[in-house]
């Protein structure tokens, strides 16, 4: 099996699907001739031409709105928003239009569209190249939200997202884009949307994370293991629909949960997971549910490493719930 | 700008014919009489020697289409006042813009509607009973009572489901057109908007993208001069909407929106230009919203009754009626027969629409996604179980 970074795996998924399905088109800023600012669409403009790999004017709402129209007409668009920090001009198109189209038309019109967008910190990007806005979108009925944490999952989940009959927001953690390399299956490789992944089995505490924070949890778990604490790690993989069953099963086994996400603490999606655990697993809990998160501040530049949850901060939370 | 008037009308100050009230200057939006017109307000052909090229059957069809919208408005407002529908958005005074633009399209073309284009869906075959069932929130209609009245969807005629959000649909129209262009389908999308929508960012995004891609889309603006209570002069400092087309590299056309023949002719040219690869057009049909924004609005609170009277005198149906009378294609008894037939259709539509079943409880949860997520299944099952043994709550307005 070839070894790939996440960027290479995403590029591979796009190529596989564009070769397989002539309805698949890409559009976005700089996705064509340049191949995307991170290189996710490198080589595709050359292979498939400017009709199927479209450089658009600089308008996020325009990219998503036009992609919706293409989907209504029967294409399968994959739109790229260059950084999720710039997705807000398209918020209306995503929330009011794409996500409600099937419901409001009784299924007469559907939007099988994927929006790819990089999220998260780790590249010294300051306020506007670092944020993690998944919670805003998880609050939108009719929209699926997918966040891979590994190259192999990025390929498999992206293929599943493009083939999904409903709009999918596919959020790619920049922290992992080029830092993690692993074997990725060639050709067909689909990972089902809605299934969490048990990254590491353990009996003492469940760490729940997605995107760039999964790797942080693995490092934290390795440290904790040296201290005799056995962490289980769940990679949520899809925020919507959430695989509650896998999370509940793990927490019922360990009795302890620490949820790790890099968005601001208040209103983050980890709060939703915490509420589900409180509703459905409170009898199994041995300790309070803790969250390790970004702060309720804009994403900082110089103090990024303090803002982002890191293994040390995660370990502190693990010690707290284990010693409770 | 290539939208220069081809058919110069007589100046507004021309001597009135047939005892009609003297036409006044069109207020506020009017930067000179540059409106393209084929019929004078008195129904006199202005299109040059040789007379109207429209066949008589086509003229009668346009008249019927306009009258149907007018009659439906009246009946629906009555139903709203009787509490049989919760809300209605009228089109009175705008029938020529609606029917003229719709008549320029082929059945295989697409429509991205704004707020006041139910008449376009009717023209394209939306059954009246289905329109009424939608306004009554019935489960017999495809959208299962999920949207407010007047938010239609009609897949059979490529009429895209409408939202209440302003200008978003313009980009869907561009996307449809780009997709058709890519697949080499000879399809045009008519994307509708009002004057208020020209202030939204999506108006700019859509026209800009369509211009760059030479997409086969026609932007059709019903400039009815009022966005709820905000008049055109407070919406833009532009002397017209058509002039904005210049910035996007496309023709802008300013047509008398109360002249159905001029609207049809100009929309037809734009549609054929788009179909033959000539790219998009922005059409501004200058008309007037004679009633409130909706049944929930009282326009007497913010505008002058004299202005409304002025536009009542420019009635689009009356204009075509006078033209048909002068051609001998219509007389009082013929018109009465048409009206009777349309009223009977509407009555039957109300009867069938109102008899539709209520949406089932399950419809609350279906169609969010192609398949229920575990969360939706859990919520649906709990709701069905709860209401298996108690009555549904009576909501507001019931």
Domain annotation for chain A: domains and CATH numbers: 3-183 (3.40.50.970), 197-322 (3.40.50.920)
Cα B282 to the center of its chain, rounded Å:
15
**What pLDDT sits at residue B50?**
84
Q: How far is CA A225 from the centre of its chain?
A: 27
Q: Which backbone phi and psi does B4 adopt, to 5 degrees? A: -65, 145
Please report residues of A whose CB lies closer than 8 A to that of B180: 73
Pairing of strands A53-55, A290-294: unpaired
Q: What CA–CA distance (Å, rounded) separates A217 from A176? A: 13
* Contact present, B343 and B71 (Cβ < 8 Å): yes
- Cα gap B80→B84, rounded to integer Å: 6
Calpha distance A46→B125 (Å, rounded): 44
Interface probe, candidates B181, B247, B362, B367, chain A, greatest A C-beta count within 10 A: B367
Percentage of chain A surpassing pLDDT 90? 100
For residue B397, count other CB atoms closer than 10 A to its CB.
7
**Chain B residues with CB-CB distance to A195 below 8 A:** none
Our answer to whether residue B302 is catalytic in this structure is: yes
| Mean pLDDT of all residues in A284-298 | 98
In angstroms, the first-to-last Cα distance of chain A is 45
Distance CA B180, CA B208 (A): 18
Q: Which residues touch B62 (CB under 8 Å, ≥6 apart)?
A: B54, B99, B100, B103, B260, B261, B264, B320
**Angstroms from B77 CA to nearest CA on chain A:** 24
For residues B377-394, b (16+ Cβ closer than 10 Å) or e, as one string?
eeebeeeeeeeeeeeeee
Cβ contact, residue pair A240, B182, below 8 Å: no
Name which of A162, A130, A194, A134 is nearest A12 in CA terms: A162
Among all residues of chain A, which has the CA nearest to that of B157? A108
Option in B143, B204, B374 nearest A104 (CB): B143
The span from the CA of A12 to the CA of B23, in Å, is 67
Q: Does any CB of chain A come closer than 8 Å to the CB of residue B328?
A: no
Query: Are the C-beta atoms of A194 and A243 separated by less than 8 Å?
Result: yes
CB contact under 8 A, B369 and A144: yes
A296 burial type by CB count under 10 A (0-12 exposed, 13-18 middle, 19+ buried): exposed
Please provide residue B71's backbone torsions phi and psi, each rounded to the nearest 5 degrees.
Answer: -65, -40
| Whole-number pLDDT of residue B10 | 38
Hey, which CATH number is domain B56-354, 1.10.630.10, 3.40.50.970, 3.40.718.10, 3.30.70.920? 3.40.50.970
How many angstroms separate the CA of residue B278 from the nearest CA in chain A? Answer: 18
Say which of B147, B161, B171 has its CB closest to residue A62.
B171
Q: Is the Cβ–Cβ distance between A206 and A251 less than 8 Å? A: yes
CB contact under 8 A, B144 and A106: yes
Chain centre to alpha carbon of residue A294: 16
Give the residue extent of every domain in chain B: 56-354, 362-398
Residue of A106, A166, A245 lying closest to B370 (CB–CB): A166
Task: Tell me which chain B residues have a C-beta less than 8 angstroms from the C-beta of A68.
Answer: 171-172, 175
B300 touches chain A (CB under 8 A): no
Can you tell me which residue has the tokens 């896998």? A246
Q: Is B269 helix (H, G, I), strand (E, B) or coil?
A: helix
Cβ neighbours, 10 Å, residue A28? 27
Radius of gyration of chain A (CA): 19
The H or E element that residue B190 is part of is strand B189-194
Q: Using CA coordinates, name the residue in chain B closest to A93.
A: B168
CB contact under 8 A, A56 and B165: no
Where in chain A does DSSP place strands (E)? Answer: 3-4, 24-28, 53-55, 76-80, 114-119, 144-146, 168-173, 182-183, 197-200, 205-209, 231-235, 238-240, 257-264, 290-294
Average of pLDDT values for A272-281? 98
Judge: B179–A74 Cβ closer than 8 Å, yes or no.
yes
Chain A residues close to B143, C-beta within 8 Å:
104-106, 108
Contact B160 A109 (CB under 8 A): yes
Distance from CA of B208 to the nearest CA of A (A): 8
Count Cβ neighbours within 10 Å for each residue of A136-163 and write b for 16 or more, e otherwise: bbbebebbbbbbbbbbbbbbbbbbbbbb
pLDDT bracket for residue A190 (50, 70, 90)? very high
Q: How far apart are CA B65 and CA B260, in angstroms?
A: 11
Considering B124, B172, B293, B323, which one is annotated as catalytic? B293
Report how far residue B267's alpha carbon sits from residue B262's, in angstroms, rounded to the nearest whole number. Answer: 8
Contact A56 B177 (CB under 8 A): no
Q: Which of A56, A62, A100 is facing B163, going by the closest CB pair?
A: A100
Six-digit token pair at A239? 């925020």
CA distances in angstroms from B34 to B5, B106, B268, listed in the order given: 7, 29, 19
Instruction: Cite the active site residues of A.
Output: 129
Look at A107 and B367 and tell me if their CB atoms are within 8 Å.
yes
Compute the average pLDDT of residues A88-99. 98
Chain A residue numbers with beta carbons less than 8 Å from the beta carbon of B175 are 65-73, 77
**Separation of alpha carbons A197 and A199, rounded Å:** 6
Q: Is A266 left (phi over 0), alpha (psi -120 to 50) or beta?
A: beta
pLDDT < 70: residue spans in chain B: 1-33, 396-398
Kindly give the interhelix angle for B316-327 and B56-81, rounded to the nearest 10 degrees. Answer: 150
Name every chain B residue with its beta carbon within 8 A of the beta carbon of A243.
374
Chosen for mutation from B130, B158, B178 (greatest number of chain A CBs closer than 10 Å) is: B178
């Amino acid at each position: 099996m070839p070894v790939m970074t996440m960027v290479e795996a995403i590029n591979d998924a796009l190529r596989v699907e564009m070769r397989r399905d002539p309805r698949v088109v890409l559009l976005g800023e700089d996705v064509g001739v340049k191949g995307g600012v991170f290189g996710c669409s490198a080589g595709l403009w050359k292979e498939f031409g400017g009709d199927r790999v479209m450089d658009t004017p600089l308008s996020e709402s325009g990219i998503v709105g036009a992609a919706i129209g293409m989907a209504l007409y029967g294409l399968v668009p994959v739109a790229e928003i260059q950084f999720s920090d710039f997705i807000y001009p398209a918020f209306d198109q995503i929330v009011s239009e794409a996500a409600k189209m099937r419901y409001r038309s009784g299924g007469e019109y559907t939007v099988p569209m994927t929006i790819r967008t990089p999220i998260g910190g780790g590249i010294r990007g300051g306020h506007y190249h670092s944020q993690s806005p998944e919670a805003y979108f998880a609050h939108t009925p009719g929209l699926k939200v997918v966040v891979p944490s590994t190259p192999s999952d990025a390929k498999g989940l992206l293929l599943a997202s493009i083939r999904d009959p409903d709009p999918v927001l596919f959020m790619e953690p920049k922290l992992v884009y080029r830092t993690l390399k692993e074997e990725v299956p060639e050709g067909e490789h689909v990972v089902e949307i809605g299934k969490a992944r048990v990254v590491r089995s353990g009996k003492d505490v469940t760490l729940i994370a997605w995107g760039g924070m999964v790797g942080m949890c693995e490092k934290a778990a390795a440290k904790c293991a040296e201290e005799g604490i056995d962490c289980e790690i769940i990679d949520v993989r899809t925020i919507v629909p959430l695989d509650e069953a896998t999370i509940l099963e793990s927490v019922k086994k360990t009795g302890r949960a620490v949820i790790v996400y890099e968005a601001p603490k208040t209103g983050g999606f980890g709060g939703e997971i915490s509420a589900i655990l409180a509703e459905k697993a409170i009898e199994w809990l041995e300790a309070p549910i803790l969250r390790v998160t970004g702060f309720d501040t804009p994403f900082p530049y110089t103090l990024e490493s303090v803002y982002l949850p890191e293994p040390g901060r995660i370990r502190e939370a693990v010690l707290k719930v284990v010693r409770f | 700008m290539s939208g220069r008037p081809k058919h110069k009308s007589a100046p507004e100050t021309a001597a009135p014919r047939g005892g009609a009230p003297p036409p006044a200057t069109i207020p506020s939006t009017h930067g000179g009489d540059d409106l393209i017109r084929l019929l004078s307000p008195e129904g006199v052909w202005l299109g040059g020697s040789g007379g109207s090229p429209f066949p008589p059957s086509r003229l009668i069809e346009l008249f019927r289409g306009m009258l149907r919208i007018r009659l439906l408005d009246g009946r629906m407002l009555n139903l709203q006042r009787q509490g049989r529908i919760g809300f209605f958005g009228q089109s009175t005074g705008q029938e020529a813009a609606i029917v003229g633009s719709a008549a320029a399209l082929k059945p295989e073309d697409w429509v991205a509607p704004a707020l006041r284009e139910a008449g376009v869906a009717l023209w394209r075959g939306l059954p009246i009973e289905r329109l009424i069932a939608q306004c009554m929130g019935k489960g017999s209609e495809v959208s299962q009572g999920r949207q407010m009245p007047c938010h239609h969807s009609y897949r059979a005629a490529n009429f895209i489901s409408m939202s209440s959000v302003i200008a978003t649909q313009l980009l869907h129209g561009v996307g449809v057109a780009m997709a058709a262009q890519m697949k080499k389908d000879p399809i045009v999308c008519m994307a509708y908007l009002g004057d208020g929508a020209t202030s939204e960012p999506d108006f700019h995004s859509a026209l800009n993208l369509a211009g760059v891609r030479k997409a086969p889309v026609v932007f059709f603006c019903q400039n009815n001069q009022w966005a709820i209570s905000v008049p055109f002069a407070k919406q833009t400092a532009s002397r017209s909407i058509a002039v904005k087309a210049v910035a996007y590299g496309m023709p802008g056309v300013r047509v008398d929106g109360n002249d159905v023949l001029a609207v049809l002719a100009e929309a037809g040219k734009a549609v054929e230009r788009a179909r033959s690869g000539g790219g998009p057009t922005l059409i501004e049909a200058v008309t007037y919203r004679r009633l409130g924004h909706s049944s929930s609005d009282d326009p007497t609170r913010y505008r002058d009754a004299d202005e409304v009277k002025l536009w009542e005198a420019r009635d689009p149906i009356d204009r075509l009626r006078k033209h048909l009378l002068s051609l001998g294609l219509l007389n009082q008894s013929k018109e009465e027969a048409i009206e009777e037939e349309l009223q009977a259709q509407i009555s039957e539509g109300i009867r069938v629409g109102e008899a539709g079943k209520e949406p089932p409880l399950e419809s609350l949860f279906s169609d969010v996604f192609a398949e229920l997520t575990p969360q939706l299944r859990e919520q649906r099952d709990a709701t069905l179980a709860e209401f298996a043994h108690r009555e549904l709550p009576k909501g507001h307005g019931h």
